A and B are shown apart, each in its own frame.
Chain A
Amino acid sequence: MELILGSFGNVLTFQNLTFMFIAMTLGMVAGALPGFSATMAVALLVPFTFTMSPTSGLVTIGALYAAAIYGGSFSAILLNTPGTPSSIGTCFDGYPMAKNGRGEEALYTASFASGIGGIIGTIILIAFALPLATWSLQFGPPEFFWTAIFGLTIISSLSTKSVLKGFTAGFIGVVIGMIGLSPIGGDVRFDFGISNLQGGVEMVSVLIGFFCIPEMLKLASNPRQEHMKVGTISGSRESIVKAFWNVFAHWGNIIRSSVLGALVGILPGAGGNIANLVAYNEAKRAAKDPETFGKGNPQGVVATETANNAVVESAMVPLLALGIPGSPPAAIIYGALLLQGINPGPELFTKNAEITYAFMTSFFVVNIFMVIIGIMAGKYIFKFVTSIPTRVLIPSILLLTIVGSFAIRNNIMDTILMLGSGLLGYILNELDFDSGALVLGLILGPIAEKGFVQGIILGNQISTETPWIIFFTRPICLVLIAMSLLSACWPLFQAYRRKKKAAAAGGAA
């Protein structure tokens, strides 16, 4: 405890606060621009931190990372384009809210939700880093396979219109994810003889394609229509108050989403991209009014934004406790630690405890700052975006998507794929196929494949004749299988309940 309190002193120096403030501003901008991911922002910042003390360097990187994840919500809400893969789910309700004239409220809701999600994530990080890290080691390849399968079953409740279309979209996503180098085996497949496709399909550029381009095309096809209603809700202050209650009157959602986010974030290889969708789905499933989700229910925004900001801190758990970088930004921080002469792992809690605790507690400060900056800036961002006429907005955004999709890997193939998936996304959208389901397939397909192939080889330890039984013999696997079955059959169960209710109502009448 003393260490924690003492570390506040180490964090709250004028120099650190200045660095953090600058990093957060940059992070929010990077997060908000589609195509500039949190990982990239962190990679760009790291060289500057070499000249700082280890503590200052780490808190600056942490601030940037958290702010970038939060910044992703801006473009999700205002442009239907997840700024980072962690805010895919924020589009589902954030953008409809904005369209209905509640854009400002949605922005503030995301601010409060991000802040509280981050703070709960920080508490989890400080209190449970070691036991949680040990728990995460229980997840081997078979467990990852089932986790990915469980993730895919979310499609059944995510796709409201048609489960069949949802799973078809998910399947298309899995197939797109197969292009390029296979995760295991190192073979190149489905590259159609184009050597640039060896690198596979970059998820962020596909995200931009599937979410942003169809929306821009829709807007362009109806140029007289306003981008979103402005000013139908009176004043910013009222929006702030509403947003505050959207978040803080729903502790069930906050706790559930941030705990889910933290759990997913701890697993190496999984991150905000999965966590926000799982949290969204669970919020919807728990809600009394699931049919309002996807039409501008603020609880959707609360769920995704709490979850993805809880991931930021929990992703640090394996890094700090075990020295295993579990996510791309954590890998960069791992490198930065090594270059600072600090050995990630148990030493962080003994020899370098002062630095480590300062890093962890700095997330409290970051998340509080984030809410304040978000609320102050939200008004101007909202006014700015909504004041741009559609005929200027569409080409500007399209230009941004091209620059952004190229910038991710400096690969022109990514831009071509972005435009291609934009077109495909537009067609699929018109046919009521769910982009969310497709993206879920794209994210989870490779994780499932890797878990499956590695798991089969691992099964040799148990039995060289029937190695596949490893998928059914481990306790966590069994739990995950049960969860998958439950999740896949949920809509059936719900339909049954609705029918019964209708029958009861009919009987009464």
Chain B
Amino acid sequence: MLIKKLLLALAAVSFLVAPASAADFPSAPVTYMIPFNAGGESDIFARAQQPLLEKALGQSVVITYLVGGGGAVGWKELIRNKPDGYYTAGFNLPHVILQPLQRKKAGYTTDQIKPVMLFMSTPNALVVPKDSPYKTLDDLLKAAKEKPGSVVLGGSGSQTANHLGVVRLNKMAGVNISYIPGTGTGDMISALLGKHVNGLMTYTTVAKNYANDVRTLAVATPERLAVLPDVPTFRELGYDLLEGAYRGLAVPPGTPDDVVQKLYEACKQVNNDPEFKQKMDNMGFFLVDMDPAESVKFINELTPIYKGILEELKK
């Protein structure tokens, strides 16, 4: 009798501890871990999502930070967590592709990051100071051709979308532009405004938020952007450069697909909120909508491309 009672109690406890059934997901608060510093793009975006996400899920969403190793420390923790949908984390491209390729022990592999959705992108933008002698992309490339190495562009870090953008542009245009990696997007802005660098290969957020101080020469998107209508795309100018960072939400490997689907629908609902969209547009964030399957496909398509560029870089 006593044993039976104990067992019942145990069952009850385990039920309380693990609300794992997908049908009533989510029945407890959901953690949303950011593997980057508070105040960065990932954090700002998550903070804007948080209240709407809570409404869509009917549960509170708890934002935590696990910073280090360019995101790797956080993603390592993500994949170790219980695959029940209650522990989610922001994830970034190209980071989760490049880090496992490049490091001996990144702590995770790309396919262990199970995407819920890729919901936002910040395409690359090439900006120069407002009073720069380079009025067009051609001016800048011409200077780079005349004195190889002497044109210096800054960007958000090593092996980031910015870095790859410069490497790819160098190859396409047959020039040699030097690249200075910073420690984050904000880090290089003072170097630009202080005219230490000739320009930045940065994100559209910078082109938009510092519009008074910079001239944007080109953006790496398929079409011109509504928020920067006068800026040509690289493609228009003859360089087929599409490059940028993507951000999304991921769960540990093995999370049931119906749970992932529920999370996806909640994130999608947030993206469709008109007020949210307006706010993000104004900051230069681009909302995209890739469901779990599309996200996986997208990552698989990008991987060989990045692999190729990494090989190139090593030479």
- A-side residues, CB < 8 A to B, are 39, 42-43, 46-47, 50, 136-141, 180-181, 183-188, 191, 193-196, 198-200, 268-269, 318, 322-326, 328, 330-335, 338-339, 341, 343-346, 409-411, 450, 454, 457-458, 460-461, 464
Point out the residue from A141, A198, A450 that lies within 8 Å of B196, measured CB to CB: A141
Point out the residue from B39, B65, B152, B213 that lies within 8 Å of A410, measured CB to CB. B65
* A-B CB contact pairs (8 Å), 16 listed: A43-B38, A46-B38, A47-B47, A50-B47, A137-B194, A141-B191, A181-B70, A196-B73, A196-B76, A198-B106, A268-B190, A318-B190, A330-B39, A335-B38, A335-B47, A344-B209
Contact in complex: A325, B39 (CB < 8 Å): yes
Q: Knowing A195-B76, A458-B196 touch, does A47 contact B209 (C-beta < 8 A)?
A: no
| Interface locus among B142-150, B246-254, B297-305 | B142-150
Closest chain-A Cβ to B105's Cβ sits at a distance in Å of 5
Given A199-B67, A411-B68, check contact A185 B39 (CB 8 Å): no
B154-195 to A contact mask, C-beta < 8 Å, 1/0:
000111000000000000000000111111001101110111
| Contact of B191 with A460 in the complex, beta carbons under 8 Å | no
The 4 A-B residue pairs whose C-beta atoms are closest, nearest first, are A199-B68, A198-B69, A331-B39, A195-B107
- A460→B178 contact, CB < 8 A: yes
Residues 9-47 of chain B, each 1 if its beta carbon lies under 8 Å from chain A, else 0: 000000000000000000000000000011110011001
Check if A47 sits within 8 Å of B66, measured CB to CB: no
A138 and B67 alpha carbons, distance in the complex (Å): 30
Q: A140 to B212: give the CA distance in the assembly, Å.
A: 21
Q: Shortest beta-carbon distance, B55 to chain A, in Å?
A: 14
Closest to B35 in A: A199
Contact B37 A328 (CB under 8 A): yes
User: Which residues on A sit within 8 Å (CB–CB) of B107?
Assistant: 195-196, 198
CA distance in complex: A138, B106 (Å): 37
Residue of A nearest to B189 (CB): A324
CA distance A35 to B279 in the complex (A): 35
Q: For the complex, what is the distance from the CA of A196 to the CA of B107, rounded to whole Å?
A: 8
Q: Of A269, A335, A409, A461, which contacts B65 at CB under 8 A?
A: A409
CA distance A222 to B37 in the complex (A): 42
Does B50 reach chain A (CB closer than 8 Å)? yes
Decide: A410 near B66, CB < 8 A? Known: A137-B194, A188-B103, A345-B209: yes
Number of residue pairs A-B, CB distance < 8 angstroms: 167
A331 to B40, CA, bound (A): 7
Chain A contacts of B179 at CB under 8 A? 457
Q: Is B48 interfacial (CB 8 A cutoff)?
A: yes
Known: A137-B190, A191-B105, A195-B107. A334 touches B70 (CB 8 A): no
Indicate if the CB atoms of B68 and A200 lie closer than 8 Å: yes
B106 CB contact (under 8 Å) in A183, A195, A322, A330: A195
* Distance between Cα atoms of A346 and B211 in the complex (Å): 11
Contact check, B37 vs A331: say whether CB atoms are below 8 A apart.
Answer: yes
Residue B242 at the chain A interface, CB threshold 8 Å:
no
- Chain B: CB-nearest residue to A331: B39
Give the residue of A39, A341, A411, A460 whose beta carbon is less than 8 angstroms from that of B152. A460
Chain B contacts for A186, CB-based, 8 A? 70, 102, 157-159, 181
8 more CB-based (< 8 A) A-B contacts, given A339-B44, A409-B65, A454-B191? A43-B38, A188-B104, A191-B105, A198-B72, A331-B37, A410-B66, A454-B181, A461-B152
Which B residues lie within 8 Å of A180 (CB)? 68-69
A335 touches B73 (CB 8 A): no
Contact flags B63-92 to A (C-beta < 8 A → 1, else 0)? 111111110110011000000000000000
Quick one: CB contact mask for B200-223 with A, threshold 8 Å, 1 for yes?
000000000110110000000000
For A42, the chain B residues whose CB sits under 8 A away are 38
Q: List chain B residues, Cβ under 8 A from A324.
A: 186, 189-190, 193
- What sequence of 0s and 1s flags, for each residue 266-296 of chain B, a beta carbon within 8 Å of any chain A beta carbon? 0000000000000100110000000000000
Q: Determine the chain B residues whose CB is within 8 A of the CB of A460 once the complex forms.
A: 149-150, 152, 178
A411 vs B68: C-alpha distance in the bound complex, in angstroms? 10
B150 touches A181 (CB 8 A): no
Query: Within 8 Å CB of A458, what residues of B?
Result: 152, 180, 196-197
Using known A-B contacts A181-B69, A195-B76, A196-B73, determine if residue A457 contacts B180 with beta carbons closer than 8 Å. Answer: yes
Contact check, B67 vs A341: say whether CB atoms are below 8 A apart. Answer: no
Distance of B3 from chain A, by nearest CB (Å) = 37
Query: Chain A contacts of B106 at CB under 8 A?
Result: 195, 198
State the CA gap A409–B106 with chains docked (Å).
Answer: 18
B150 and A464 within 8 A (CB): yes
Q: Are A343 and B180 in contact (CB under 8 A)?
A: no
Whether B149 pairs with A464 at a CB distance below 8 angstroms is yes
Chain A residues, Cβ within 8 Å of B196: 140-141, 458
Q: Which residues of B contact A39 (CB under 8 A)?
A: 38
Q: Are the CB atoms of B39 and A332 closer together than 8 Å? A: yes
Query: Which A residues are in CB contact (< 8 Å) with B195?
Result: 137
Q: Chain B's nearest CB lies how many Å from the CB of A431?
A: 31
Contact (Cβ within 8 A) A409 B283 = no
Report the minimum CB–CB distance from A182 to chain B (whole Å). 8
| Interface status of B198 (Cβ within 8 A of chain A) | yes
CB neighbours (8 Å) of A411 from chain B are: 66, 68, 73
**Contact pick for A331, options B149, B186, B194, CB 8 Å:** B186
The smallest beta-carbon distance between A386 and chain B, in angstroms, is 36
Which B residues are CB-close (under 8 A) to A194? 105
> Which residues of chain B are within 8 angstroms of A181 by Cβ–Cβ distance?
68-70
B-chain residues with CB within 8 Å of residue A137 when the two chains form the complex: 190, 193-195
Q: How far is the CA of A338 from the CA of B186 in the complex (A)?
A: 14
Which chain A residues lie closer than 8 Å to B150 at the CB level?
460-461, 464
A474: min CB distance to chain B, Å: 10
